[in-house]
């Protein structure tokens, strides 16, 4: 595949950050929609994605007079409920997103979730920018609807500017503590891009800095990712979520990174019990500038080209595993070969147990989250061996697996770390009976913390 800046697909961008930082609201602001206020409790419950066509990006960034021509056909932004689902955005072991926006609330600074996001971005080698959001909350801020940031800043009185500078300096200091250099994006020299985090101040309520954020994303992608973004016919398609939906039975939400999907294509999907061979019954996407979470906004397609966020309806998808890649069976393909390929990804992750066979058991809801948990456990600071791996809820059989460690005289390893999964009542009961520990949490940080604390008391 030759790099070709005239034949680019849309970059895939993920928006992450701590709860309430304003991720959904930022997207609402660009779309001119109101998803955030219609969410239950204002909290994002499922993954959403929005496609922003190039014309919209052009329009929104006009005031900045972009010098470089827009070469990408658009921008696909994925909004997630939290970093638990970000970590599911994977593709063959690395990040699925080409670039990310890490949203930080200027009034709050860095939070534990922000720090965990930073670590994930680093592990996945995903380039990112920081949206320093809620600048309108600075006391005395004068609204400059949708203005580029520098223009808005120049219209603020001295006190507001001082307050802004003070908070910015503090947050730059926080990033430094995490091992990252950062600065306002327009102060960073070209050669330092990527080394120093670009900070874009924004308001999701009044739109200041939004033009800057969009332009920076697009420019960065066009400048540094031509290879990666050159459109390829070879299908690359990852399952994000498996959903039981009324009428259609189960559907899967996928990101099509490269290639084309058609209605009627025979596909193979990685399933809990083995490969699932099925046929695409329907392909649908949200309207551009809308998203799937808004009811009644589906567009149906006979065929669809990357990059897009798509809902696939087909039979037998119930046991599909999120975070895996799907394959299309072509006329000349050997189905058995493709089945093997499809399951390969799962096998690679499930094979990541310690060679000695000694270690704790881990359990997570998806392949992506499992992989992220394993990555964290492997880091030198943590360094906890893993003896058993599972996807989905913890059942009795998983407790039996963990119990084996008691026989291997590794009492502390007779432990299950259950990340964002349920534990069945009889699994709890059995664990109690045999002295197997089960820790549950919905952040990796908390799981590891709990287990380390347990190890420490165990040593004494």
Binding partner at 9 among ligand GDP, Mg ion, none, C-beta below 5 to 8 Å by kind: none
24 contributes a contact to Mg ion by CB under 5 A: yes
19 contributes a contact to ligand GDP by CB under 6 A: yes
**End-to-end distance of the chain based on CA atoms, in angstroms?**
58
Residue with tokens 């380390």: 452
198 contributes a contact to Mg ion by CB under 5 A: no
Only one of the segments 161-169, 203-211, 424-432, 452-460 lies at the binding site for ligand GDP (rule: CB under 6 A); that segment is: 203-211
Q: How far is the CB of 24 from Mg ion (least distance, A)?
A: 3
Only one of the segments 114-122, 128-136, 147-155, 156-164 lies at the binding site for ligand GDP (rule: CB under 6 A); that segment is: 128-136
Q: Which of residues 27-56 bind Mg ion (CB under 5 A)?
A: 44
Only one of the segments 18-26, 86-94, 109-117, 138-146 lies at the binding site for Mg ion (rule: CB under 5 A); that segment is: 18-26
Q: Which of residues 40-79 bind ligand GDP (CB under 6 A)?
A: 42, 44
Binding partner at 11 among ligand GDP, Mg ion, none, C-beta below 5 to 8 Å by kind: none
113 contributes a contact to Mg ion by CB under 5 A: no
> Which CB, 333 or 442, lies closer to ligand GDP?
442
Which of 355, 420, 422, 423 has the alpha carbon at shortest distance from 387? 355
> Which CB, 22 or 387, lies closer to ligand GDP?
22
> Which CB, 42 or 435, lies closer to ligand GDP?
42
How many of the chain's residues bind ligand GDP (CB under 6 A)?
Answer: 18
> Which CB, 24 or 369, lies closer to Mg ion?
24
CA 78, 169, 27: angle at the middle one, nearest 5? 20
Q: Using CA atoms in the order 420, 424, 427, 433, what is the torsion angle rounded to 10 degrees?
A: 110
24 contributes a contact to ligand GDP by CB under 6 A: yes
| Distance in angstroms (rounded) separating the CA atoms of residues 287 and 181 | 38
Question: Judged by CB under 6 A, which of 10, 13, 23, 311 binds ligand GDP?
Answer: 23
> Which CB, 25 or 346, lies closer to ligand GDP?
25
Residue with tokens 């990796």: 444
Beta bridge partners of 440: 418
Question: Judged by CB under 6 A, which of 9, 60, 134, 410 binds ligand GDP?
Answer: 134
Cα separations in angstroms, 375 against 123, 390, 445:
8, 15, 12
Q: How far is the CB of 390 from Mg ion (least distance, A)?
A: 29
Binding partner at 85 among ligand GDP, Mg ion, none, C-beta below 5 to 8 Å by kind: none
Site residues, ligand GDP (CB under 6 A): 17, 19-25, 36, 42, 44, 133-134, 136-137, 203-205
Site residues, Mg ion (CB under 5 A): 23-24, 44
């Amino acid at each position: 595949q030759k790099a070709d800046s005239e034949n680019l697909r849309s970059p895939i961008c993920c928006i992450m950050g701590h709860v309430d930082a304003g991720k959904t609201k930022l997207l609402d602001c660009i779309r001119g929609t109101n998803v955030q206020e219609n969410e239950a409790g204002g909290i994002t419950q499922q993954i959403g994605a929005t496609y922003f066509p190039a014309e919209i990006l052009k329009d929104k960034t006009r005031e900045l007079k972009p010098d470089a021509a827009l070469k990408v056909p658009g921008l696909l932004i994925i909004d997630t409920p939290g970093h638990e689902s970000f970590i599911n955005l994977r593709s063959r072991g690395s990040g699925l997103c080409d670039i990310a926006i890490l949203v930080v609330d200027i009034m709050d600074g860095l939070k534990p979730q922000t720090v965990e996001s930073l670590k994930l971005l680093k592990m996945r080698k995903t380039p990112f920018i920081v949206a320093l959001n809620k600048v309108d909350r600075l006391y005395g801020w004068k609204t400059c609807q949708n203005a580029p940031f520098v223009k808005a800043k120049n219209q603020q009185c001295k006190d507001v500017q001082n307050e802004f500078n003070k908070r910015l300096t503090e947050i730059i200091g926080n990033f430094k503590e995490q091992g990252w250099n950062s600065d306002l994006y327009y102060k960073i020299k070209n050669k330092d891009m990527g080394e120093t985090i670009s900070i874009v101040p924004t308001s999701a309520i009044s739109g200041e800095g939004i033009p800057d954020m969009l332009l920076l994303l697009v420019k960065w992608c066009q400048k540094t990712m031509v290879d990666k973004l050159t459109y390829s016919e070879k299908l690359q398609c990852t399952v994000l979520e498996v959903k039981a939906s009324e009428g259609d039975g189960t559907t899967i939400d996928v990101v099509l990174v490269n290639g084309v999907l058609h209605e009627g294509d025979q596909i193979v999907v990685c399933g809990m019990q083995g490969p699932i061979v099925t046929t695409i019954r329907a392909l649908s996407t949200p309207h551009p500038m809308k998203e799937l979470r808004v009811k009644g906004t589906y567009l149906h397609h006979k065929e669809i080209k990357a990059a897009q966020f798509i809902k696939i309806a087909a039979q037998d998808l119930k046991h599909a595993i999120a975070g895996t890649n799907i394959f299309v069976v072509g006329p000349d393909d050997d189905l058995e070969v493709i089945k093997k390929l499809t399951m390969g990804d799962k096998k690679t992750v499930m094979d990541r147990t310690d060679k000695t066979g000694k270690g704790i058991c881990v359990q997570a809801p998806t392949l992506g989250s499992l992989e992220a948990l394993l990555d964290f456990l492997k880091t030198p600071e943590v360094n906890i061996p893993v003896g058993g791996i599972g996807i989905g809820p913890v059942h009795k059989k998983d407790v039996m697996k963990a119990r084996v460690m008691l026989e291997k005289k590794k009492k502390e390893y007779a432990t299950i770390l259950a990340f964002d999964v349920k534990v069945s009542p009889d699994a709890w009961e059995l664990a109690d009976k045999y002295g197997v520990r089960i820790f549950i949490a919905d952040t990796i940080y908390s799981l590891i913390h709990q287990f380390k604390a347990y190890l420490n008391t165990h040593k004494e």
